[in-house]
Structure 1
Amino acid sequence: MRLPGRLAAAIEVLTDVEQRKRPVSEALKAWGINNRFAGAGDRAAIGNLVYDALRRRASHAYAMGSDSPRALVLAVAMWDWGETPDALNTAFSGDAHAPGALNEEEARGATADLSAAPATTRADFPDWLAPSLERAFGPDWVAEGQAMAGRPSLDLRANALKAAPEKVMKSLARFSPQPTTIAPFGITMPAGPRDARTPNVTTDEAYLKGWFEVQDQGSQIVAALAGAREGEQVLDLCAGAGGKTLALAAAMGNSGQVFAYDSDRNRLAPIYDRLKRNAVRNAQVRAPNPGALDDLVGRMDRVVIDAPCTGTGTWRRRPDTKWKLSADLLAQRQSEQAALLVEGMRYLKPGGTLVYITCSILPEENDDQIAAFLANHADMQSEDVAQAWRTALITDMPAGLGTPLGGVCLTPHRTGTDGFYCHLLKKA
């Protein structure tokens, strides 16, 4: 497929997303099934167009004077992919699969002035979140939003139980991998421009052998900050598919015990194969049955809570969720988080550490939750996250990452990672 056909396909997919209110991934999959002539490169390019359109939906709509699927995709072609209106109209001419020619208003969108646009438009954030984000990031909040609207890198974590990062990078040399800037076992492949394809590393022999896992560098950093040590008893209370369980087990050198639990049996299902492939022997999966964790009360050195959240830190990867987020969903997540903090504390032994993690950049889910929790639990106090950073990551914590209450917040703008929050709490 040539560019005109790819643009038309992206408009079709975005229209499907809007009309049927379905996730972007499902709409792209359905388009691929219905158009089997499209090759892998075509599908990757169309996916890039769709996701780029959603990442900068507000600013693209402002430039084009419309938020229709056609306007958004044309904006991506001109603003993000470097096409000019004349070049597009020339390419469209005589191509049976092309969208209709750009009109004068659409062509003017290529040179629109965004300097007078509202701050939330320039930041590509929903308007109602402005107070929260300004509270979180101060005068940098627009820059934070703009970084959150970029493409994410593909990050991997070398499995220390099987391979060093250098060994993994040698296996993946054809993809030009690089060491991550912070995570000691991290490997990254920066996102490419335009129709660049994300490497399919999960078919590589090194992945099948368990040498590495796909894991954003931010997730690796907060897992390291948990500080799990050899011989400890650790509960991963919201283990999900097991990404952080695997990182904890590797940090502990397969000694001690990691108890992996999740209240959702379906989320937990992939963990069994992943543990086997990674050669993890010190993890015990606890299925969500009545009394599944009763024997762990008061015994854990660490309890890790990777709490359910709005996922605002992952907007680069799931930009459609940015525009669906509501105050009601935020309130629901806050209620779940507060309950998990209280639940997690039950399993700590005296002197144990509670590790609270979210993939959110909103203070309502981060510092605010910790403030409310500490106000009601005098036997819990914050640990020094800067010291934990030095111990876990063998470097000083970069300036500006600390939050007012003593947590740490990672973002694409600050650390080149997804957005993550981590706070460490010690039981008296």
Structure 2
Amino acid sequence: MTPAARISAAIEVLADIEARRRPATDALKDWGLSHRFAGSKDRAAIASLVYDALRRKASAAWIMGETTPRAIVLGMLRLQRGLDPAAVAALCSGERFAPEPLTADESVRLESADLGGAPAAVAGDFPDWIELSLQRVFGEDLISEMRALTARAPLDLRVNTLKVSSREEAHDALPHLGAVETPLSPLGLRIAPGEDGRGPAVQSEPEFRKGWIEIQDEGSQLVALLAGVKPGEQVVDLCAGGGGKTLALAAMMENHGQIYATDNDARRLAPIHDRLARAGVRNVQVRTPRAKADAVTDLDGKIDCVVVDAPCTGVGTWRRNPDAKWRLRPGSLDVRRKEQEAVLDRAARLVRPGGRIVYITCSILPEENDDALAAFMERHDGFTPLPLTKILDASRLGHIEKAVRATAHGLQLTPLRTGTDGFYAAILVRNP
């Protein structure tokens, strides 16, 4: 396919997403099935165009004066891809499978591409109903913080210290990937996204199959390190899911002590068993709930550290899931807040006196972060937030203090400040 034909295909996919109100992955899959002549590179390039258009949906529509899929793609080419009007016009010749030629109005709008006077939600490309929430966190940095969430995310790897002695050893074994050391996590390697937005097929690398590396955003690595778990401790990963943070915790504990990995949704735990085996983890006991029964009742009051990687809206991952921002609704936030309340209350029963709850979300909304903890502490006496300096000192991450954004009860990572996904973390200590 020609570059122009790929533009036409992206417009077609965006029209399908809009008409049928469904995730981009589904629309892209259906397009590929109905256009089997398109090769893998074509499909990847089209997907990249679609996701870039969704990243800049509001601002692209603003500069073009329309909300049509065509307008959004044209605006994205100018704002996100940095093409000048002549280059955009060359792609819109109307020949064969190319989009129709630019109108006079489109040419003028592409020439000016002016976001001056645009509302914050347009300039920052986010749903306007969360603006007040974001303003509470970011203040004057709101637009710049949200623009950072429109960028493509890199591919980050965590070096598994149960299988390899150092990050340098893993790095030297993968020279063809072009990885560099992550600036904040002492265990991370970073691979920049390719021109089509994709990274290399890391899962096919021998080092991945041997368990030397895991795919994990640097922010996720950092919040796992902030838990400060130590060899010999008793730990519950209460929302373990596929086990990404469980694996990181096990490596920190050097396979000594015990981790109990569980999740309310047994289906989410399915991948964890193979991942544990590949990583050489021997101190994790997977507790799969049966018929929604609590799988860790016998551990109440006995646990040193309860890690709550809470269900959330995922606003902090919009670099990777740009279509999710436009599907977010107030009702979704309400559902997640109730789930966070329930899981925090469950954690309170598990932790022993003197133990701690590590609360984590991949969100930047205060309702899911500081507000959730404030409400928890109103419901439960005897829990105290650990100050930021003590969190960082205990986890030997003092070097990230200037990069993170301190909050009332914890800390916030963001693409702008830390180059990571938007993670929140806090530690509540139960009084002895």
What CA RMSD, in Å, does the superposition of the two structures yield over aligned residues?
1.6
Aligned to 2:428: 425
Match for residue 304 of structure 1 among 296, 304, 307: 307
Matches within 5 A, 1:22-421: 22-93=22-93, 95-110=95-110, 111-163=112-164, 164-193=166-195, 195-289=196-290, 290-399=293-402, 401-421=404-424
8 Å CA contact 1:257, 1:283 repeated in 2: yes
Which aligned segments of 4 or more residues in structure 1 are displaced greater than 4 angstroms?
Answer: none
What letter matches 1:260 in structure 2? A
Cα distance in structure 1, aligned partners of 2:222 and 2:403 = 16
SS of the residue 1:213 aligns to: strand
Q: Per-residue CA shift, 1:22-69, capped at 9, x if unaligned?
A: 211122222222223322322221111111111111111101111211
CA contact 2:133–2:366 (8 Å) conserved in 1: yes
Separation in structure 2 between the aligned mates of residue 237 and residue 291 of structure 1, nearest angstrom: 11
| Counterpart-to-counterpart distance in 2, 1:203 and 1:74 | 36
Residues 394 and 315 of structure 1, relative CA distance in 2, 3 Å threshold: closer
Query: 2:92·2:98 contact (CA, 8 Å) conserved in 1?
Result: yes
Quote the Cα distance in structure 2 between the aligned partners of 1:402 and 1:145. 14
Provide structure 1 residue ranges, at least 5 long, that are not aligned to the other structure. Answer: none
SS of the counterpart of 1:98?
Answer: coil
Distance in structure 2 (CA, Å) of the matches to 1:404 and 1:208: 39
CA deviation after TM superposition for structure 1 residue 400, in Å: 6.2
Q: Larger deviation: 407-416 or 33-42?
A: 33-42
Q: How many residues align?
A: 427
Checking the alignment, whether the CA contact within 8 Å between 1:114 and 1:122 is kept in structure 2 is yes
SS at match of 1:319: coil
Q: Does the 8 Å contact 2:58/2:126 carry over to 1?
A: yes
Query: Counterparts of 2:185 and 2:27 in 1: how far apart (Å)?
Result: 34
Moved more, 171-180 or 253-262: 171-180
Residue 402 of structure 1 deviates from its aligned partner by 4.3
Range 184-193 or range 314-323, more displaced: 184-193
Residue-by-residue CA offset, 1:398-418 (whole Å, 9 max, x unaligned):
236343423010000110000
Post-superposition offset of 1:156: 0.7
Q: How far is the alpha carbon of 1:94 from its aligned partner?
A: 6.5
The one-letter code matched in structure 2 to 1:270 is P
Query: Comparing 150-159 with 93-102, which one deviates more in the overlay?
Result: 93-102
Instruction: In structure 2, give the amino acid aligned to 1:21.
Output: R
Specify whether residues 93 and 240 from structure 1 end up closer, same or farther in structure 2 by C-alpha distance, changes over 3 A only: same
Q: CA deviation at 1:196?
A: 4.8
Q: 1:339 to 1:124 in 2, by over 3 A?
A: same
Amino acid aligned to 1:171: A
1:349 maps to amino acid: R
Tell me, in whole angstroms, the C-alpha distance in 2 between the residues paired with 1:404 and 1:388: 13
What are the Cα deviations for residues 374-426 of structure 1, in whole angstroms up to 9, with x where unaligned? 12322111112322223324433323634342301000011000000001001
**AA of the residue aligned to 1:399:** K
**Alpha-carbon deviation of 1:295?**
1.1
For the residue of structure 2 that corresponds to 1:246, the secondary structure is helix
Shift of 1:254: 0.8
C-alpha deviation, 1:271, in angstroms: 0.6
User: Residue by residue, what CA displacement relative to the aligned partner does 1:289-310 show, whole Å, maximum 9, x if unpaired?
Assistant: 2242111111111000001011
Contact 2:192 2:199 in 1 (8 A): no
Query: Could you list the per-position Cα deviations for residues 194-233 of structure 1 after superposition, in whole angstroms to 9, with x for gaps in the alignment?
Result: x353222111111111111111001110011011110111
Tell me, in whole angstroms, the C-alpha distance in 2 between the residues paired with 1:336 and 1:92: 48
Alignment check: 8 A CA contact 2:388 2:406 kept: no
Q: Given residue 54 of structure 1, which amino acid in structure 2 is its aligned partner? A: L
Q: TM-score, normalised by structure 2?
A: 0.95
Q: State the 1:13 CA deviation.
A: 1.2
Distance of 1:27 and 1:277 partners within structure 2: 34
- Asked if the contact 2:226–2:392 (Cα under 8 Å) also holds between the matched residues in 1, the reply is yes
2-side partners of 1:91 and 1:38: how far apart?
19
Matches of 2:117 and 2:294 in 1, distance apart?
58
Structure 2's unaligned 5+ residue stretches are none
Helix, strand or coil: the match of 1:301?
A: strand
Deviations 1:138-160 (A, max 9, x none): 11111111101111111110111
**Inter-partner Cα distance in structure 1 for 2:35 and 2:344:** 48
Q: Distance in 1 between matches of 2:185 and 2:271?
A: 24
Tell me how far apart the structure 1 counterparts of residues 276 and 109 of structure 2 sit (CA, whole Å). 51
CA distance in 2: counterparts of 1:36 and 1:206, whole angstroms: 33
How far apart, in 1, do the equivalents of 2:94 and 2:27 lie? 28
